[in-house]
Chain A
């Protein structure tokens, strides 16, 4: 058992360890201004981030990300369910959705800023929410449409009430697909968290990285990029843990079907 866990950890951590080691060795003797040794970058890390920036830059960024992301989840599912359930609503809404989906969300940043203000949190949260909305919404629509019709008939025959149908049939049935959309949305959210701070923001993780770069604080800039990577990794780890628990039935069902 422990041997198996060790082997799994080895598999998971192996490549990152090798890459970090490679970076460490390859950059060790570097005197390039733009490619400082990894040792220098690591040494700069505590002074850069642990002296207040974590609370004043990173935390607000993460909170904005979470706010926008949750907003997108709620909106995406709330809009996706009726669109997925009713053919008429779908025919009515789908072309419009396809149009808006085709617009890259970063383009909207200046537009949103015009309405919601450049410096406040609102414009950033809105940007993140709009970018995250599409994968959640479109996957919810597909997931709801794909709920097994035999199950729908079963629910009708056994007179599941409206609320029960929504919770125990529609939402549970489409949850694997919603989760797939939510996973896509999370990575889009991280990207937009940074991009939304590139225009006229003075605080935040993304804004900090840009400021370091502009003031030629290169090791500090690198620490910011690493922090960003670690943050994205942690978020997706948390996501995977939640998904693992919530969709245990789905994995079991899939494995059972594969075995048969």
Chain B
């Protein structure tokens, strides 16, 4: 948790246009005389309202990064600032959609109760709560499944419930950890469009972690490519595709193919162990 940079007073001024700021993040897992360096150094900031994707080869510490940002894991050094406040535990203004949809919904609650629970905890009045929950379920296309239990729904629908819960929570930053890794390809395309649609409508800042290169380019305004372990930022790719995207048209454009090819190449190099410092000097 120790930080050496005297930057703790700065965020107030920048709070208006930067939703999330990751500064000099390091994470080393310590255990019985053996320590594993998961994240060596990561710094990036996400402007308010941006949809940022994070990709990296498997084992790149994507989940570690995300758990640090979500306040579920202590950082070894550096800091994470959300809405001008340093993250020391799960922040109030953040909602998370986990990869394991089947395990992140409460199986003993109905769909509606799952979406409503965080609002009850925040003491939102009942009438307003009901309205927000109904709106959120309608927004993800589950308006009439409120009484069902999560396990009665398909995988894609369960992930929609998790998204509805996050949306109803009205977060500043929505974090999604490989949310569609476990659903089939067609459902996945639908859910990708759902995320774009919700992002447009709600103006929320989205941080979307994925291992799927196509998905990252299709969804994001920007793609952060991570190296393999210990993780550093390999490249910050700006996705200059038009804002209006559709599964067939966008994926067929020349620019999409270029961007996709570029990210693909970066990931291949990351897998082979390439690191940015290799460009400067010999690898250790």
Contacts and interface: CB of A to CB of B under 8 A. Distances in A.
Interface of A: 148, 150-151, 153-154, 156-161, 164, 168-169, 172-173, 175, 249-250, 252-253, 256-257
Contact of A256 (B70, B106, B152): B152
B104 A154 contact: yes
A112 to B, nearest CB: 38
A158 B89 CA distance: 11
21 contacts: A151-B104, A151-B106, A153-B70, A153-B98, A154-B98, A156-B71, A157-B72, A157-B94, A157-B96, A158-B117, A158-B165, A158-B169, A159-B122, A168-B106, A168-B109, A172-B108, A249-B108, A250-B108, A252-B151, A256-B152, A257-B151
Given A150-B103, A150-B104, A253-B107, A156 B149 contact: no
B146 interface: no
A158 B98 contact: no
Contacts of A250: 107-108
B118 interface: yes
Interface in B153-198: 165, 169
Interface string B95-116: 1101010011111110000000
Contacts, number: 72
Q: Is the interface of A mostly helix, strand, loop or mixed?
A: helix
A252 B149 contact: yes
Given A156-B72, A252-B152, A256-B151, A150 B98 contact: yes
B11 interface: no
B279 interface: no
B108 A159 contact: no
B121 interface: yes
Nearest to B169: A158
Interface string B136-153: 000000000000010110
Nearest 3 pairs of A and B residues by beta carbon: A158-B118, A150-B103, A256-B151
Contacts of B122: 159
Nearest to B67: A153
A156 B94 CA distance: 11
B90 A157 contact: yes
Given A150-B100, A159-B118, A249 B149 contact: yes
A154 B105 CA distance: 8
Contacts of A161: 121
B70 A157 contact: yes
B117 A168 contact: yes
Given A148-B103, A156-B90, A159-B92, A253 B151 contact: yes
A158 B151 contact: no
A159 to B, nearest CB: 6
Contacts of B105: 154
A47 to B, nearest CB: 50
A169 B117 CA distance: 11
Contacts of B169: 158
Given A150-B100, A150-B103, A172-B106, A159 B151 contact: no
A156 B122 CA distance: 13
Nearest to A254: B151
Interface in B11-68: 67
A172 B105 CA distance: 13
Contact of A157 (B95, B108, B149): B95
Contact of B117 (A160, A253, A257): A160
A116 to B, nearest CB: 39
Nearest to A160: B121
Interface centre among B100, B149, B151 (most CB of A within 10 A): B151
Given A158-B121, A159-B92, A151 B151 contact: no
A156 B96 CA distance: 10
Given A153-B98, A156-B71, 9 more contacts: A154-B96, A154-B105, A159-B121, A172-B108, A173-B108, A249-B149, A250-B108, A252-B107, A252-B152
Nearest to A156: B90
Nearest to B103: A150
A162 to B, nearest CB: 11
Contacts of A253: 107, 149, 151
A160 B90 CA distance: 11
B230 to A, nearest CB: 23
Nearest to A159: B121
B119 to A, nearest CB: 9
Contacts of A150: 98, 100, 103-104
Contacts of B117: 158, 160, 164, 168
A196 B239 CA distance: 77
